[in-house]
A = this chain, B = another copy of it.
Amino acid sequence: MEHEYSGLLSQETKEKIDNFVKFHKQNNTNVVLITSGGTTVPLEHNTVRFIDNFSIGTRGSASAEYFIQKSYAVLFVHRRRSLRPFERKFHNVNLLKLINKNEPNAPTELFKVNQSLINFNFDQLLESHQDAVEKNLILNVDFITVFEYFALLDYSCRAISSLEKNALVYLAAAVSDFYVPLNEMPEHKIQSSDGNLVLDLKPVPKMVGKLRSEWCPKAYVVTFKLETDPSLLLTKAKKSIEKYQHNCVIGNILEQRKNNVLILESNGKVTDIYLNEEKHCEIEEMIIDHLCTEHFLYKKNQPSYG
């Protein structure tokens, strides 16, 4: 796969990432690399058509905000036009209804926000965002294709590896599992004799093993597993940790993923996190709260508490 994504990152993007990491290394800040949203698989070189995974980046963008609350700097590697931290709150909000003129027909530059249309405090959101920007705690970088995704993952992991155990990797993106290799693209759009289009897709190479072995060996690495069958979830999560030597797998059952996740640590500890009616928060706040404690213990070389 490397030969297919090498050269895809602009010098400008590389410098932004380098400067962000350098800044936080000087300040000894924890840095989390979050990947978010789905990757696309182009089906042709001019890329009118592509295969996509359904994901708008809900978990990744929400998680970023809670990491920032814990004073982490967030390198937010996301699918272009998927949800971004803070800005995500305007998803499904018509801005032209949200923002009103102060007084009808009055020539003024001041506007009112129709707070009744939103379920968050607009003023507080502005302040939290402004605070994150002033402290340089968020860097948004975007991808579209699975090739761009791997280029960014590779480069970002190597960049944060200099932070050693201050680095956390949180792989929430939905990565394509099948793709058309670049050099096979013309052959793969075969029009059959009956006018059908036949696509022959190859499995996407597993790159996640490289995080521990090559790209950022000391980082605390969190990955996600999505299953529809709850009985398979823990077994698969355990196998994944053993194989790739990550620190933690977050297991989602497709239909309950907004209310319940299982967190499996490399020492075998399982934590069941669920929202109930009494908890007035997003599940991502509880997940990040848990992970920050685990990351703290990892940095101290202490065994996971529990």
**A199: nearest chain-B partner, CB-CB:** B199
CB proximity to B under 8 Å, residues A106-135: 109-113, 123, 125-126, 129-130
Q: A86-B96, A95-B95, A101-B126 are in contact. Are A54 and B43 (CB under 8 A)?
A: no
24 A-B contact pairs sorted by A residue (CB < 8 Å): A43-B51, A46-B228, A46-B254, A47-B54, A50-B52, A51-B52, A56-B81, A81-B81, A96-B125, A96-B129, A99-B113, A101-B123, A109-B112, A109-B113, A109-B123, A110-B110, A110-B111, A111-B111, A111-B112, A178-B197, A197-B200, A198-B198, A199-B199, A199-B201
Residues of B within 8 A of A109 (CB): 112-113, 123
Q: Closest 5 CB pairs between A and B?
A: A197-B201, A199-B199, A96-B129, A110-B110, A178-B197
Contacts of A198 in B (CB 8 A): 198-201
Instruction: Give this chain's copy count.
Output: 2
If over half of A's interface residues share one DSSP class (helix, strand or loop), that class is named, otherwise mixed; here it is mixed
* Size category of the binding interface on chain A: 35 or more
B-contact 0/1 string along A174-215, CB 8 Å cutoff: 101010000000000000100111111111000000000000
